[in-house]
Amino acid sequence: MKAVVLLSGGLDSSTTAYLARSEGYEICAVSFDYGQRHWRELKSATRIAQMVGAIEHRIVRFDLRQWGGGSALTSSLELPLDRSTDEMGEGIPVTYVPARNTIFLAFGLSYAEAVGAELVYIGANAIDYSGYPDCRPDYLTAMQTVFTLGTKAGREGRPIRLEFPLVEMTKPEIVLLGDRLGVPWEKTYSCYTGAELSCGHCDSCLLRIAAFEAAGRADPLTYAG
């Protein structure tokens, strides 16, 4: 049985890929080259796809910079650095990209139906200062309805299931789960800057560092300082 896994090469999606494998699925990984600031994460995604034994890894290319949307991830807008978790917890972050997960999930659904996969896994996480609207359970549940009604598979009684196993987990819990599943953390990449050495100051690095600390695990990445 096949499962499509949305894979960015970060902590959450890598853990999700290993979880899907532990549940016995053949993994069809899909990553997106969408005009983000950098392609460093795609290198990690490719490496993780190999290590988890994905039977396919597709990279879908399109360009969200064409309408900007004011996101710090698809423009030269400055990334916030060294924010406290209180600051991160306020509202929707500037790294929000309009409807990004809806686009990713739509491609994941298309891929799943085309290859006959039964599920689509996404590592969305609603806890720990994630203000992203398209990471919340109510949104993901609405996408499940779209998966069921919007496909031939669904209309014929074989709906493709959307799995979001990390959505209610804290980051330290995700680290512990990934550790147990053998995620090769040294191959993952979380930094928003795209530098070869992770910056250690963007929201994503700070949350990662804090998560490993709280979980009592060592993060094998070297940070720029």
Query: Which residues are near its own copies by CB under 8 A?
Result: 58, 60-64, 66-70, 92, 96-103, 105-107, 109-111, 113-115, 133-134, 136, 138-139, 142-143, 145-146, 149-152, 154-156
Side chain identity at residue 16, one-letter code: T
Q: Between 9 and 108, whose beta carbon lies closer to its own copies?
A: 108
Q: Between 102 and 170, whose beta carbon lies closer to its own copies?
A: 102
Shortest Å, Cβ 144 to its own copies = 9
Q: Between 8 and 101, whose beta carbon lies closer to its own copies?
A: 101
How many CB atoms neighbour CB 211 within 10 A? 21
Closest CA to 123 of 42, 25, 41, 4: 4
Q: Between 74 and 193, whose beta carbon lies closer to its own copies?
A: 74
Shortest Å, Cβ 105 to its own copies = 8
Shortest Å, Cβ 202 to its own copies = 20
Q: Between 99 and 214, whose beta carbon lies closer to its own copies?
A: 99
Shortest Å, Cβ 223 to its own copies = 30
Shortest Å, Cβ 122 to its own copies = 12
